[in-house]
Amino acid sequence: MDPVRENGLLLTRRQFFGRSTTGIGVAALAGLLNPGAAFGSSQLPRAPHFAPKAKRIIYLFMSGGPSQVDLFDYKSSLQSLHGTELPDSVRGGQRLTTMTSGQDAFPVVSSRFRFKQHGQSGAWMSELLPHTAGIADDLCIVRTLNTEAINHDPATTYVTTGAQQAGRPSMGSWLSYGLGSENQDLPAFCVLISKGSPFVNMQPLYPRIWGAGFLPSEHQGINLRSSGEPVLYLKNPPGVDRETRRRMLDGLSKLNRSLHEEVADPEIMTRISQYEMAYKMQMSVPELVDFSSEPESVMNLYGEDVRKPGSFAANCLLARRLAERGVRFVQLYHRGWDQHDNLPRDIQSQSKDVDQASAALITDLKTRGMLDDTLVIWGGEFGRSVYSQGKLDADNYGRDHHGRCFSIWMAGGGIQPGITYGETDEFSFNVVKDPVHVHDFNATVLHLMGIDHERLTFRYQGRDFRLTDVHGNVVHPILG
């Protein structure tokens, strides 16, 4: 592209007028059109497109790709097919990762874990998830989520931002941009990363997957850390008290507003907003992460790991505390589900990490009367293959990535409870009924929050972008 044209496209409308004239009139007009911006924030609550079913979301993201074959998608016929070659007619020329594309054989692997039906809904679940099985009638299990991505980074980027290429805003950022915040002392979008079992392969997580992309940067997710300071650089340095910090921010705000009057760059107002949010978080975050006010019954509900900072259980409780304080979107990442080998050992440890706390979160929200308007999502970026990766041993196997069908569950927030949606073939390899593409899933999530996914757009470089790109249909049968 011509560098002069590229530079012009990178300018926002406000920057163009601001640099073409004095910018004062444009800044005044912007203040009239967006009163929140006059106070250095666009985080003020905004009305949804229609009445929402959910006010907030807690997304339990199982990074690495949990095996649907060993957790939710029970196939009794696999027992008799164990060790046989996966038929070419089933594979259908599927694109494989480089980890299995060179294999001479693709032996079918039945799960070594027992499945049972649970609750009045009769949902099939593995013995690996006994606590989750206890809340089966609160869950909607979707077995037919599907994606084109077959590697971790593009697949994670796809489901969280709606595109396989980096640089798009994440779902939490879109919700922050579209709906604002209900709590002016905490960000609208928070991220928690839990520590999984130590011997499991941990896929890297890049901050861009909770980034704001081309949206104003105040809408990016804030990562709350489990050790040291919960948020980096939040504390005042030695010798700086709160009153001094307030005077410094007031002076800095005057300088930034003066520059904004000159050039009308909207990111200047974002900068002011972020400084103010950090000042407020100096008071709100220490109280947030202090569990001493939680009754012993709640701590016991989440299990012993809740007392270990950074564990999945501790982060689930922290997610509930964020949700009840009005945080719009909490995304909790739990790594370690990438089980190319030693799957029987590793999936047991991973399931133990998350099972009790996931169920406890649902029970806790329900007890507090929050589940009806809190959408909880549990799932990863794709599933695992029915065939073995590498050698199939009598007591050991691994599974490769599989995007054609994988399972997630959803609960609360307008989701119909006690149902299993979609069907896969006898190999849990292809969707045979009711497919749910990543774009359909994202459109449905936005719908539950009162947002028409086709109307939540942002113009960037001459194009209107949205979370679902130019795709997506709301999955109405799973709505309550």
Q: What is the pLDDT of residues 69-128, one digit of tens each?
A: 999 999 999 999 999 999 999 998 888 898 998 899 999 999 999 999 999 999 999 999
DSSP structural state of residue 59: E
The length of the chain, given as a count of residues = 480
**Which one-letter amino acid corresponds to residue 25?**
G
DSSP structural state of residue 108: B
User: Which of 473, 452, 454 lies closest to 464 in space, CA to CA?
Assistant: 454
* CA–CA dist 346, 351 (Å, integer): 9
Q: Collapsing DSSP states into helix, strand and coil, what is residue 363? A: helix
Q: What is the pLDDT of residues 431-467, one digit of tens each?
A: 999 999 999 999 999 999 999 999 999 999 999 999 9
Centre a 10 Å sphere on the Cβ of residue 223 and count the other Cβ atoms it contains: 18
* CA–CA dist 398, 90 (Å, integer): 19
Give Cα 467 distance to the centre of its chain: 13
* CA–CA dist 291, 87 (Å, integer): 53
* CA–CA dist 371, 382 (Å, integer): 26
CB of 291 closer than 8 Å to CB of 320: no
The residue ranges of every structural domain in the chain are 1-32+234-285, 34-230+289-424+437-478
> pTM value?
0.87
* CA–CA dist 406, 68 (Å, integer): 6
Spatial CB neighbours of 11, under 8 Å, sequence gap ≥ 6: 19
Give 5's pLDDT tier (boundaries 50, 70, 90): low
Q: What is the pLDDT of residues 280-325, one digit of tens each?
A: 777 777 888 899 999 999 999 999 999 999 999 999 999 999 999 9
Centre a 10 Å sphere on the Cβ of residue 59 and count the other Cβ atoms it contains: 22
Give Cα 448 distance to the centre of its chain: 15
Q: Give the pairing type, strands 399-402 and 374-379.
A: unpaired
Q: Selecting from 3.40.50.620, 3.50.50.100, 3.30.565.10, 3.40.720.10, what CATH number does the domain 34-230+289-424+437-478 have? A: 3.40.720.10
**What is the residue-averaged pLDDT of the chain?**
88
Whether the predicted pLDDT of 398 surpasses 90:
yes
Average pLDDT over residues 21-27: 42
* CA–CA dist 294, 388 (Å, integer): 45
Higher pLDDT among residues 276 and 228, named by residue? 276
Determine phi and psi for 275, rounding to 5 degrees. -60, -45
Give 182's pLDDT tier (boundaries 50, 70, 90): confident
